[in-house]
């Protein structure tokens, strides 16, 4: 009888589908904290971790998460650039940004990149579970703080422009690496292309932005929100 009642109960309340999650943040302790929070939630499983956008994209070639929870400010390839590539190459994956930045520029760029959730790190404890379930239902979830600092409603978001949109994705990637202090050879080795190819892209992005030296590129990257202050190369 007990077994029969158990079966009836299970039919009435079927177990929730497990939400498989990949975490991406360049701070190990932050990732550990988010993972601990997620693992306390029912029907949530962390199946992978990454420290930058490139690692996330490589993980997605072998793992099939439902959701990627990702920071913006990561070295090499930031979260917004990674999100744009994920949306294009892995359209079934839902992306939640978990960031310390709550200005409108970041929120708009994230939504245009295909992000469906935007939370501030300080609000993650209270809102992460809600955000996960909302995006799994096909909705977009923005934290209260993000909404307060963004000009809503976001009608016509596709028409909002950023100076970064003058550049191709590869040019933005190279610009970030330049701003982080990488030289031509290092960037070429990382991207597996020749130094001449990197020089070509650097010349094109300088022409597109009407800038003429590396310090000017770094200042532009900072103003445009491609890198935050703490990611600037020393000196």
Q: What is the pTM of this model?
A: 0.80
Mean pLDDT of 65-80: 93
Q: Which long-range contacts (CB under 8 A, 24 or more apart) does 177-181 make?
A: 177/76, 178/202, 178/214, 178/217, 178/218, 178/221, 179/217, 179/218, 179/221, 179/222, 179/226, 179/227, 179/231, 179/232, 179/233, 180/75, 180/76, 180/227, 180/231, 180/232, 180/233, 181/233, 181/234
pLDDT computed for residue 233 by the predictor: 44
Statement: 2-157 belongs to CATH 3.40.50.2300: yes
Examine domains 2-157 and 163-231 and report if their fold is the same: no
**154 CB neighbour count, 10 Å cutoff:** 17
Question: What kind of architecture, by CATH, is found in domain 163-231?
Answer: Orthogonal Bundle (1.10)
**Which residue is it, tokens 């400010």?**
73
Mean pLDDT of 37-59: 94
Give the pLDDT of residue 13. Answer: 53
pLDDT tens track for 143-178: 877 775 555 555 555 555 677 777 888 898 999 999
Would you kindly state where each structural domain of the chain is located, as residue ranges? 2-157, 163-231
Instruction: Specify the higher pLDDT residue, 145 or 57.
Output: 57
81 pLDDT more than 90:
yes
């Amino acid at each position: 009888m007990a077994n029969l009642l158990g079966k009836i109960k299970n039919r009435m309340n079927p177990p929730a589908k497990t939400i498989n999650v990949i975490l991406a943040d360049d701070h190990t302790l932050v990732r550990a904290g988010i993972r601990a929070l997620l693992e306390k939630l029912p029907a949530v499983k962390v199946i992978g971790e990454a420290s930058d956008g490139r690692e996330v994209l490589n993980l997605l070639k072998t793992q099939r998460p439902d959701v990627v929870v990702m920071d913006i400010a990561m070295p090499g390839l930031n979260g917004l650039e990674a999100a744009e590539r994920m949306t294009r190459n892995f359209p079934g994956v839902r992306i939640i940004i978990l960031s310390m930045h709550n200005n409108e520029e970041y929120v708009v760029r994230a939504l245009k990149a295909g992000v469906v959730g935007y939370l501030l790190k300080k609000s993650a404890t209270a809102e992460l579970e809600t955000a996960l379930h909302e995006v799994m239902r096909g909705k977009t979830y923005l934290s209260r703080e993000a909404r307060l600092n963004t000009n809503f409603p976001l009608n016509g978001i596709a028409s909002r422009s950023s100076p970064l949109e003058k550049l191709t994705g590869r040019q933005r990637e190279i610009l970030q690496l330049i701003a982080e202090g990488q030289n031509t050879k290092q960037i070429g080795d990382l991207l597996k292309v020749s130094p001449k190819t990197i020089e070509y892209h650097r010349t094109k992005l300088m022409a597109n932005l009407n800038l003429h030296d590396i310090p000017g590129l770094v200042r532009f990257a900072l103003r445009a929100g491609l890198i935050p202050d703490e990611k600037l190369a020393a000196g």
